[in-house]
Amino acid sequence: MDFTLNEQQEMLRTSARQFLTKNCPKTLVRQMVADEKGYTQELWEKIAELGWLGLIFPAEYGGAEGSFLDLVVLLEEMGRFCFPGPFFSTAVLGSLPVLWAGTREQKDKLLGKVAKGELILTLAFNEPGTYYSSNISTKALEDRNGYVISGSKIFVPDAHVAHYIICPSRTNGSAGSERGITLFLVSNPAKEITVIPLKTVAGDKQSEITLDKVKVPKDSILGERDGGWELLQKTLQYAMIGKCAEMVGGAQQVLEMAVAYVKERQQFGRPVGSFQAVQHHCANMFLDAEAMRFITYKAAWKVSQGLPSAKEVSMAKAWVSDAYQRVVLRGHQVQGGVGFTEAHDMSLYFKRAKAAQHLFGDAKFHREKIAESLVA
Amino acid sequence: MDFGFSKEELDFGKEVFDYLQKEMTEPVAVECRHWRAAAPGGPYTREFLNKVGNKGWLTPSWPKEYGGLGLPIIYSYIANEKMDYFNIRPPISSSVAGPLIMRCASPELKNKFLPRIARGEVHFALGYTEPQAGSDLSAVDIRAVKTDKGYVLNGQKMFSTHSHIADYHWLLARTNSEVKPRHKGITLFIVDLKSPGISISPIWTMADERTNEVFYENVLVPAENLVGQENRGFYYIMEDLEYERTFAVGHAEHILEQLIDYAKKTARDGKLLSSEPAIRQDLAQLAIDIEVGRLFFYRLADVLRRGTDLMFEGTVSKIFTSELLQREAFFGVNMMGLYGQLQEGSKWAPLEGNIEHLSRECVVESIYGGTNEICRNVIAMRALGLPTG
């Protein structure tokens, strides 16, 4: 057993932290919350140059041939810095299914450009009234030239800037049936696609989209026709771990901020961190943060071994979603009034924790999945 | 990153598990159930531990010259987890006394004790706590006065569990009462519990387990039974506590299996408990907690195999898993509703009253081995570098 990063991963972590310290200050994060687009071209190009966008792509697509565990390390650092922009949508939600199931042509068309920072991808899963389920009613009707897609999607990350939206649509069966779902690579923007940004707590860019008879060619099917559900599930599993990794980095940063503050802040003539009531809050944060990291790494390791890992992934997402919230709330408690101000960094982590805990299923959702396997 | 076991490790775990399952006779199981915090709890467990010791499984990673198997540290953790599944905690002899003897005792004491500890032939009882020295062990006041014949001890120990069954007392005593701070005047001794002048009287816990008061009246202890250096005892045990605080989740896992089984078979007003959303949520949360507890546990082996000392990692494991056991036990009795109050012996008692008993016993988990508040202080200081008050 080995709970630690290898040498390369340590180097990646160190260089990512150095880069982000310099290039991703909280002033930028705040600007991007207010900004319509949500990222700067300059930073996007820089991370493309660093090879982050193609971190796990094969060399032929301009990739660095890294492993998923490397990507987890990178996402952890991005979470620590509240990295703004469509990295997660592009590198995880969009690229992974293309890597796994894309045809030669699809990969040629997309991955090289993704690695260079020229293409932004995303995935549109939920529809109004659904929650990561197979209740997909967006329809794709076959015609002579390909397919015509109509329907509504909601909470689609970065749809306002994405060049391709992976759109699970029904080609067979009815809402609820896992069979009959097909993933389409839909070019965006298009006049048949309406993108309406949502006003969200974290100021990340999610949208409601309406597809009104969007015509796509036959070769825009990603993976198997009618068999997209498995691909979607696999993508979701990796996305859960990726999101957990971001939360691990965020929690670690909150812990470090809180500890630094209580060492410094004086009341009653001594640092508040010398009071046991405060120390115990910090100790609890530490326990949660450690557990978050280990349970995330374990799930990441297991999926990257190709072992059945649905249960471990659900355990990680459930634990990390709850624990991140605890860490943030205790972080607030020990930093007092100043942490409650909008100008304090804590406000950013609080809001991101809220957003992340619901993404790809919250703790209750995943506990129910675990329960299914326990009492089966 | 690697969270898997090697084939050799898996085989070892299976061999230990299968053996324990085969040898776990009803009388041993009963003793284990009643004396969880106190292995060996009685004559059957003693005999059982002797068998396990003869296999080398109490101390798999000890050097062969001291009766170990010379295996990497993770094998000790694997054996520990498997034993924990059957409700057997590592004996004080091999988990507390042995490692410290190996680290700081004289060659004579090493040769005298270590091979017998490894074989499970001799057992120790902890003698740290006194009426006025609980969380503050530096207040230890049992006096050891040096004479020509050895040390003469007078005073009292408290909550010295299984000293009525063990062979030796692993004793913290005061050898200097002038020195400040007080912890600089404390020495560690091995005392034969059959020595004249020792009297032991039971204290019964609310979990029907026996612990003891031990009185010392002019007890003569040979000088060679001093462990390490005089007046260094407090330092030795403080370092060692970090190693003592290793809580396996085998037992928690075994209990969860039983609770799941119960929920699947038990209907209330025509509805299976396992179909109740609230119960399903709690069962799943326990499974997650056990996963976390196991990661905290095996992380210790990962730190140690690098030759690094434990700083706070054992404490993390202790806090988490002790509280997990409490959540699990209380969930269990609550899920059973009115039946949860029934004790062993009632024909209606679910799981032979095992969970009812655990729900009383688990109260002490967050108290002994350093209360969880003391443990959180340790984390604050050692892991986070927070200032002391």
Tens-place pLDDT, residues B272-293: 999 999 999 999 999 999 999 9
CB contact under 8 A, B384 and A302: no
Predicted confidence (pLDDT) per residue in B205-257, tens digit: 999 989 999 999 999 999 999 999 999 999 999 888 888 788 999 999 999 99
CB contact under 8 A, A2 and B1: yes
Closest CB to A271 among B263, B298, B387: B387
Lowest mean pLDDT among A88-102, A112-126, B238-252, B322-336: B238-252
Contact A136, A181 (CB under 8 A): yes
Predicted confidence (pLDDT) per residue in B107-123, tens digit: 999 999 999 999 999 99
Interface of B with A (CB under 8 A): 1-5, 74, 260, 263-264, 274, 277, 280-281, 283-285, 287-288, 291-292, 295-296, 298-299, 301-302, 316, 319-320, 373, 375-377, 379-380, 383-389
Of the residues B291, B312, B316, B375, the best mutation for testing chain A's interface (the one with the most A CB atoms within 10 Å of its CB) is B291
Question: Residue B31: pLDDT band by 50, 70, 90 thresholds?
Answer: confident
Say if residue A94 is exposed, middle or buried (CB neighbours under 10 Å; 0-12, 13-18, 19+): buried
A42 to chain B, closest Cα gap in Å: 34
Q: What is the pLDDT of residue B244?
A: 78
Q: What is the pLDDT of residue B43?
A: 86
Mean pLDDT confidence for B312-328: 97
pLDDT at B388 over 90: no
Q: Which residues of B touch A3 (CB under 8 A)?
A: 1, 3, 295, 298-299, 302
Name every residue whose Cβ is closer than 8 Å to that of residue B116 and which is 6 or more positions away in sequence.
Answer: B67, B122
pLDDT at B37 over 60: no
Radius of gyration over every alpha carbon of chain A, rounded to an integer in angstroms: 21
Closest CB to A276 among B281, B285, B389: B389
Three-state SS at B62: coil
Q: What is the pLDDT of residue B36?
A: 60
Mean pLDDT of chain B: 95
Question: Residue B39: pLDDT band by 50, 70, 90 thresholds?
Answer: low
Please state, in angstroms and rounded to a whole number, the distance separating the CA atoms of residues A25 and B191. 62
State what percent of residues in chain A have pLDDT above 70: 100
Please state, in angstroms and rounded to a whole number, the distance separating the CA atoms of residues B371 and B364. 9
pLDDT at B40 over 90: no
Predicted confidence (pLDDT) per residue in A60-89, tens digit: 999 999 999 999 999 999 999 999 999 999
CB contact under 8 A, B285 and A318: yes
The residue count for chain B: 389
Closest CB to B292 among A280, A283, A291: A291
Q: Which residue has the tokens 């070019």?
A: A187
Mean pLDDT confidence for B37-53: 83
Of residues A113, A78, A116, A80, the one with CA closest to residue A98? A113
Closest CB to B3 among A273, A301, A364: A301
Residues 32-71 of A with CB under 8 A from B: 69
Check if A291 contacts B (Cβ < 8 Å).
yes
CB contact under 8 A, B302 and A295: no
Please state, in angstroms and rounded to a whole number, the distance separating the CA atoms of residues A47 and A32. 16
Mean pLDDT confidence for A246-260: 98
Q: What is the largest distance, in Å, between two alpha-carbon atoms of chain B?
A: 77
Closest CB to A367 among B260, B285, B296: B285
Of the residues B78, B245, B292, the best mutation for testing chain A's interface (the one with the most A CB atoms within 10 Å of its CB) is B292
CB contact under 8 A, B384 and A283: yes
Predicted confidence (pLDDT) per residue in B292-315, tens digit: 999 999 999 999 999 998 999 999
Q: What is the pLDDT of residue B239?
A: 84
B380 to chain A, closest Cα gap in Å: 6
Mean pLDDT confidence for B125-142: 95
Q: What is the pLDDT of residue B38?
A: 55
B379 to chain A, closest Cα gap in Å: 6
DSSP for residue B194: T
Please state, in angstroms and rounded to a whole number, the distance separating the CA atoms of residues B91 and A34. 61
Three-state SS at A57: coil
Of the residues B3, B315, B371, B388, the best mutation for testing chain A's interface (the one with the most A CB atoms within 10 Å of its CB) is B3
Question: Residue B42: pLDDT band by 50, 70, 90 thresholds?
Answer: confident
Of residues B144, B213, B203, B198, the one with CA closest to residue B168? B198
CB contact under 8 A, A294 and B299: yes
Q: What is the pLDDT of residue B240?
A: 84
Whether the link from the prior residue into B40 is cis, omega within 30° of 0, is yes
Q: What is the pLDDT of residue B85?
A: 95
Check if A238 contacts B (Cβ < 8 Å).
no
Q: What is the pLDDT of residue A148?
A: 98
Check if A107 contacts B (Cβ < 8 Å).
no
Q: Which phi and psi angles does A131 have, rounded to 5°?
A: -140, 90
Predicted confidence (pLDDT) per residue in A188-244, tens digit: 999 999 999 999 999 999 999 999 999 999 999 999 999 999 999 999 999 999 999
Closest CB to A274 among B301, B316, B388: B388
CB contact under 8 A, A283 and B376: yes
CB contact under 8 A, A273 and B260: no
Point out which residues pair with A208 in neighbouring strands.
A196
Of residues A35, A62, A69, the one with CA closest to residue A48? A62
CB contact under 8 A, B263 and A375: yes
Q: Which phi and psi angles does A65 have, rounded to 5°?
A: 55, 30
Mean pLDDT of chain A: 97
Q: Which phi and psi angles does A268 have, rounded to 5°?
A: 55, 30
B80 to chain A, closest Cα gap in Å: 16
Closest CB to B387 among A273, A300, A375: A273
Residues 1-20 of A with CB under 8 A from B: 1-6, 9
pLDDT at A140 over 60: yes
Please state, in angstroms and rounded to a whole number, the distance separating the CA atoms of residues A202 and A32. 11
Mean pLDDT confidence for B159-179: 95
Q: Which residues of A touch B292 (CB under 8 A)?
A: 291, 294-295, 319
Mean pLDDT confidence for B149-177: 96
